[in-house]
């Protein structure tokens, strides 16, 4: 029997789960079992926990449905536990180094108590000093104590369902424990999430607090009697909520106060003496049911908290006033607004969703936001508004649905009832969002991270193409949005395009018949200014022979203005509006660290990574995984190595195919040709998750056919 059973619910914390599990498995004390509790074997955390279980026999995942909530997950973990003591850890919290050894020593020294309370740190998610609160009894979070499993079983203790489950659990533990001990050392570092705790958010769930308090009080009345200390701890939580009426729905506030007053009168211990000062006055007013007097007292003692709505700041005062006036009108329930790359044109995920919505949701009026110079290249029949125009601000103010692959202007206000969808525009290799803060070069050009997170707070949904992205988005853009693991709509075409589509695009781009087209797509360098291909393309073409032509596509930062870089066997496709078309036309991809590799991998065609400055890029931009360890194909570090891969066919041999297969398994997880349909049904039509088309397994997908060529074989 292990000394400790450590139970870790994993719902919604995939991005930080590895840190939590690592903090347990790297402890100097190793006599434990680690029980991650997943939503299901195919839940987002399943891949993470399965990998740990595979390499460490102490890790034993169990499942609990999301509908059971946090209490159900913890109870499922307890049911599977075999250790002498139970320890709980949230999936984004960590154990302090040496914590388990300290707990074991203290448990032995204190004679194996029923419960051992220990200190914890509350660590701000961003910056600031951690705090170490001193809590007792019913106020102790479940993860700030160790519980003797035999004691828990003997008293049939379980986490009560509903919100505030820690209040009910800790109250019952404090009520029934005959022997308790303390360890004055920080054992758990609890992450204070940026989006805060749901327990501090207004809503009907605030009424659950009284259910938990009554559960403890009723058991005390039936079995044990109640100490004044535990009574005060329980009602400290009740008084905090009563003192913040905005937490409880307006039509339930008096009922909440009245029920709390009845519980107070019915269960207060004999001889109860209210504490001194203002807190004692609150106890007396609550017991008397004096609702109005209670809030009058609180108003006198505490400044009212006000939420100041951020005002829009368009440049022109007239536009600002117009936008504010439009926001006073009702939302247009049938208006959807789309934008891609800050108005660069009709492209990427927003365009793919827009096109599908016109078929599946024809009742919606769709408006695309574009810069003036993108108007002429819009497809026929696409309604648009020019960025910054009065009409632009009108549709932003009134739209029910707002879809973007970047972010709307800081001035845009998230209206109640509106639905914001962040589609993203690629799978991340480089650091994103707040993860950029420690990389000085990119952080200097990113702007205010506070403003970034204010924009994130507008998101209701965030799109992901694979579990890797899901984990990165959660960490880089912390918010309260719902992750949609639906794939990228722009990549649908890689499974729906025909051989005729491929041939048409090649003709439009000017790819000569019988030639193999290599798409060269380098990414942007934050430490450089202007576009530099990083490769002498003319020399490269000369070195690989005339079987090939090169399609040059610079990063979208450089797709506006400037002369085309075409010439000889180099075809500049930087200004082509569709990167998807360009990928369809290419027989193989050469890139450095561009996210285009993740999209192109859906086609299951050869990919070569040209990594001549990997170390510089990694140190200045930061990356979220080591591309050199898991590349999508061969890696070349010099122009000579790159040319050799195409001269001798190494770019497309069996070894290259094996690397690509592993890469596709990880990064083409949800792209199957149905992403746009899933998004439209879930977000724009409001269909429930269970009715959304499931993702087609990778082995059953058929990518668009490769270009038909009559190239001579390599010599």
- The answer to whether residue 567 scores a pLDDT higher than 80 is no
pTM of the model as a whole: 0.71
Percent of the chain predicted with pLDDT > 90: 76
C-alpha to C-alpha distance for 601 and 676, rounded to whole angstroms: 19
pLDDT, mean over the chain: 90
Q: Kindly state the helix (H) or strand (E) to which residue 62 belongs, with its residue range.
A: strand 62-63
C-alpha to C-alpha distance for 556 and 521, rounded to whole angstroms: 10
- The answer to whether residue 307 scores a pLDDT higher than 50 is no
- The answer to whether residue 58 scores a pLDDT higher than 90 is yes
What mean pLDDT comes out for the span 168-176?
96
Q: Which of 20-24, 311-315, 350-354 has the lowest mean pLDDT?
A: 311-315
The confidence score (pLDDT) of residue 309 equals 38
pLDDT digits (tens, 9 = 90+) for 4-46: 999 999 998 888 899 999 999 999 999 999 999 999 888 889 9
**Cβ atoms of residues 141 and 74 within 8 Å:** no
C-alpha to C-alpha distance for 534 and 558, rounded to whole angstroms: 14
- The answer to whether residue 152 scores a pLDDT higher than 70 is yes
Coil/strand/helix, residue 591? strand
pLDDT digits (tens, 9 = 90+) for 234-250: 999 999 999 899 999 99
**Cβ atoms of residues 188 and 143 within 8 Å:** yes
What mean pLDDT comes out for the span 261-280?
89
- The answer to whether residue 559 scores a pLDDT higher than 80 is no
506: Cβ–Cβ under 8 A, 6 or more apart, which residues? 517, 585, 707
Residue 591 buriedness (CB in 10 A; 0-12 / 13-18 / 19+)? buried
- How many Cβ atoms sit within 10 Å of the Cβ of residue 211? 16
| Residue 274 or 529, more confident | 274
The confidence score (pLDDT) of residue 489 equals 98
Q: How far is CA 147 from CA 85, 114, 133, 151, 342, in A?
A: 5, 6, 20, 8, 54
Coil/strand/helix, residue 107? helix
C-alpha to C-alpha distance for 710 and 595, rounded to whole angstroms: 30
- The answer to whether residue 301 scores a pLDDT higher than 70 is no
Percent of the chain predicted with pLDDT > 70: 91
The confidence score (pLDDT) of residue 312 equals 46
Q: In what order do the strands lie in the sheet with 482-485?
A: 384-386, 365-370, 332-339, 399-404, 419-422, 461-464, 482-485
User: 305 pLDDT band (50/70/90 cuts)?
Assistant: very low
State the first-to-last Cα distance of the chain, in angstroms, to the nearest integer. 66
What mean pLDDT comes out for the span 180-195?
90
Neighbouring-strand partners of residue 552? 520, 572
HSE-CB at 41 with a 13 A cutoff on CA atoms is: 0
DSSP state of 286: H
DSSP state of 490: G
C-alpha to C-alpha distance for 10 and 90, rounded to whole angstroms: 7
Pick from 180, 22, 192: which is nearest to 95 by CA? Answer: 22
26: Cβ–Cβ under 8 A, 6 or more apart, which residues? 97
The confidence score (pLDDT) of residue 442 equals 59
Three-point CA angle 578, 582, 588, nearest 5° = 150
- The answer to whether residue 414 scores a pLDDT higher than 80 is yes
DSSP state of 220: I
What mean pLDDT comes out for the span 491-514?
96
What mean pLDDT comes out for the span 179-207?
90
DSSP state of 611: -
Residue 292 — φ and ψ, nearest 5°?
-65, -45
Residue 525 — φ and ψ, nearest 5°?
-110, 120
User: 133 pLDDT band (50/70/90 cuts)?
Assistant: confident
pLDDT digits (tens, 9 = 90+) for 437-467: 777 655 555 667 888 889 999 999 999 999 9
- The answer to whether residue 207 scores a pLDDT higher than 50 is yes
- The answer to whether residue 302 scores a pLDDT higher than 70 is no
The confidence score (pLDDT) of residue 134 equals 67
205: Cβ–Cβ under 8 A, 6 or more apart, which residues? 162, 163, 198, 199
Pick from 461, 342, 337, 324: which is nearest to 400 by CA? Answer: 337
Pick from 634, 569, 476, 599: which is nearest to 14 by CA? Answer: 476
Q: Residues for the chain: how many in total?
A: 715
- The answer to whether residue 557 scores a pLDDT higher than 70 is no
User: 711 pLDDT band (50/70/90 cuts)?
Assistant: very low
What mean pLDDT comes out for the span 202-208?
94
Q: Which of 291-300, 512-521, 572-581 has the lowest mean pLDDT?
A: 291-300
CA 392 to chain centre: 29
The confidence score (pLDDT) of residue 313 equals 46
Report residue 281 as tokens: 């006055």
pLDDT digits (tens, 9 = 90+) for 618-674: 888 889 999 999 999 999 999 999 999 999 999 999 999 999 999 999 999 999 999
- The answer to whether residue 318 scores a pLDDT higher than 90 is no
């Amino acid at each position: 029997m292990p000394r400790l059973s450590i139970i870790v619910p994993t719902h919604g914390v995939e991005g930080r789960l590895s840190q939590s599990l690592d903090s347990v498995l790297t402890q100097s004390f190793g006599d434990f079992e680690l029980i991650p509790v997943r939503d299901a074997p195919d839940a987002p955390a399943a891949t993470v926990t399965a990998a740990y279980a595979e390499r460490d026999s102490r890790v034993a995942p169990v499942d609990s449905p999301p509908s059971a909530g946090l209490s159900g997950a913890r109870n499922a973990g307890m049911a599977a536990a075999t250790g002498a003591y139970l320890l709980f850890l949230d999936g984004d919290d960590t154990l302090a180094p040496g914590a388990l050894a300290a707990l074991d020593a203290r448990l032995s020294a204190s004679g194996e108590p029923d419960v051992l309370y220990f200190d914890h740190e509350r660590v701000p998610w961003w910056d600031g000093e951690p705090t170490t609160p001193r809590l007792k009894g019913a106020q102790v979070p479940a993860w700030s104590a160790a519980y003797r499993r035999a004691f828990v079983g003997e008293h049939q203790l379980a986490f009560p369902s509903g919100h505030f489950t820690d209040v009910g659990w800790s109250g019952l533990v404090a009520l029934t424990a005959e022997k308790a001990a303390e360890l004055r050392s920080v054992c758990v570092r609890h992450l204070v999430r940026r989006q805060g705790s749901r327990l501090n958010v207004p809503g009907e769930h605030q009424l659950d607090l009284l259910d938990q308090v009554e559960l403890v009080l009723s058991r005390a009345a039936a079995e044990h009697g109640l100490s004044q200390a535990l009574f005060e701890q329980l009602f400290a939580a009740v008084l905090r909520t009563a003192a913040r009426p905005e937490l409880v729905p307006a039509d339930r506030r008096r009922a909440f106060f009245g029920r709390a007053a009845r519980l107070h009168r019915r269960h207060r211990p004999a001889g109860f003496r209210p504490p001194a000062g203002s807190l004692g006055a609150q106890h007396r007013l609550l017991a008397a049911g004096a609702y109005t007097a209670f809030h009058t007292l609180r108003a006198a003692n505490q400044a009212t908290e006000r939420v100041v709505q951020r005002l829009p700041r368009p440049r022109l005062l007239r536009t600002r006033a117009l936008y504010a006036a439009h926001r006073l009108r009702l939302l247009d329930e049938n208006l959807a607004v789309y934008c891609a790359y800050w108005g660069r044109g009709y492209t990427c995920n927003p365009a793919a969703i827009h096109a599908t919505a016109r078929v599946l949701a024809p009742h919606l009026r769709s408006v695309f936001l574009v810069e003036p110079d993108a108007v002429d290249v819009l497809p026929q029949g696409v309604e648009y508004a020019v960025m910054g125009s009065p009409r632009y601000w009108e549709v932003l103010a009134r739209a029910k649905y707002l879809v973007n692959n970047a972010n709307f202007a800081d001035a845009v206000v998230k209206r109640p009832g509106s639905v914001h969808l962040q589609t993203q525009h690629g799978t991340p290799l480089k650091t994103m969002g707040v993860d950029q803060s420690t990389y000085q070069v990119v952080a200097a050009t990113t702007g205010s991270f506070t403003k970034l997170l204010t924009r994130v707070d507008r998101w209701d949904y965030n799109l992901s193409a694979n579990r890797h992205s899901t984990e990165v988005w959660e960490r880089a853009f912390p918010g309260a949005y719902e992750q949609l693991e639906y794939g990228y709509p722009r990549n649908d075409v890689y499974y729906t395009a025909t051989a005729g589509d491929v041939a048409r695009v090649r003709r439009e781009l000017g790819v000569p018949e019988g030639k193999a087209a290599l798409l060269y797509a380098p990414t942007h360098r934050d430490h450089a200014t202007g576009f530099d291909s990083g490769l002498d393309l003319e020399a490269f073409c000369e070195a690989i022979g005339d079987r090939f032509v090169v399609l040059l596509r610079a990063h979208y930062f450089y797709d506006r203005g400037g002369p085309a870089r075409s010439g000889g066997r180099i075809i500049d496709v930087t200004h082509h509006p569709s990167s998807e078309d360009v990928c369809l036309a290419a027989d193989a991809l050469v890139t450095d660290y561009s996210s285009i590799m993740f999209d192109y991998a859906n086609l299951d065609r050869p990919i070569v990574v040209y990594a001549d400055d990997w170390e510089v890029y990694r140190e200045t931009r930061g990356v979220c995984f080591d591309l050199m360890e898991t590349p999508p194909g061969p890696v070349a570090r010099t122009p000579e190595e790159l040319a050799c891969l195409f001269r001798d066919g190494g770019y497309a041999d069996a070894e290259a195919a094996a690397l690509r297969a592993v890469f596709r398994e990880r990064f083409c997880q949800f792209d199957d040709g149905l992403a746009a349909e899933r998004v439209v049904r879930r977000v724009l039509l409001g269909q429930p998750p269970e009715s959304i088309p499931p993702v087609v397994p990778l082995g059953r997908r058929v990518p668009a056919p490769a270009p038909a060529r009559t190239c001579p074989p390599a010599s």
